[in-house]
């Protein structure tokens, strides 16, 4: 009588542990909120509403920025980071980006928000760092990966 109970218990543990394995298709979520759009036409033609850059830093594969602008609460703001698709052949290579900020709020209060962008699409084969020249930023940022 003890042998069937032990076999049943062992079978339950085996099923429990095999059910907790990860599938290769499981997606790993990025700590960054948004992706970078690589589009030369959008880079050349898009217009942005006014905003102020409070801070910017690259951490791992994310660009974290803090911006401020006038508005009612900032909940309707949208921001896209666009890469020109051009790579300057220097050491290290350089990419050219700009933010497209959309603000339809007409209040006079000033709010700030932090946004993060996944930079992995900007990586270049056979390189481990890129200089990011972001339009309107006071100085380039170095992205090491």
Structural domains for the chain: 30-144 (2.60.40.2370)
> Residue 45: what are its φ and ψ, rounded to 5°?
-110, -20
Is pLDDT above 60 for 113?
yes
Sequence-distant (6+) residues with CB within 8 A of 20 are none
* Residue 7 banded pLDDT, cuts 50, 70, 90: very low
d(CA 14, CA 8): 10
Look over the chain and give the mean of its residue pLDDT values, rounded to a whole number.
87
Q: β-pairing, 34-38 with 78-88?
A: parallel
| pLDDT for residue 139 | 94
Is pLDDT above 90 for 25?
no
Report pTM.
0.75
CA angle 120-123-129, nearest 5°? 115
| pLDDT for residue 31 | 81
């Amino acid at each position: 009588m003890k042998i069937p109970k032990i076999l049943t218990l062992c079978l339950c543990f085996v099923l429990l542990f095999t059910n907790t394995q990860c599938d290769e298709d499981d997606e790993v979520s990025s700590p960054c909120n948004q992706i970078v759009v690589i589009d030369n036409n959008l880079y050349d033609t898009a217009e942005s509403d006014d905003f102020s850059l409070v801070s910017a830093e690259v951490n791992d594969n994310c660009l974290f920025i803090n911006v401020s602008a006038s508005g009612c609460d900032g909940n309707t703001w949208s921001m896209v980071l666009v890469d020109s698709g051009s790579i300057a052949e220097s050491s290290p290579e350089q990419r050219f980006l700009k933010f497209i900020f959309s603000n339809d709020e007409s209040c006079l209060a000033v709010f700030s928000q932090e946004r993060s962008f996944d930079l992995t699409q900007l990586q270049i084969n056979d390189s481990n760092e890129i200089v990011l020249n972001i339009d309107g930023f006071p100085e380039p940022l170095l992205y090491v990966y």
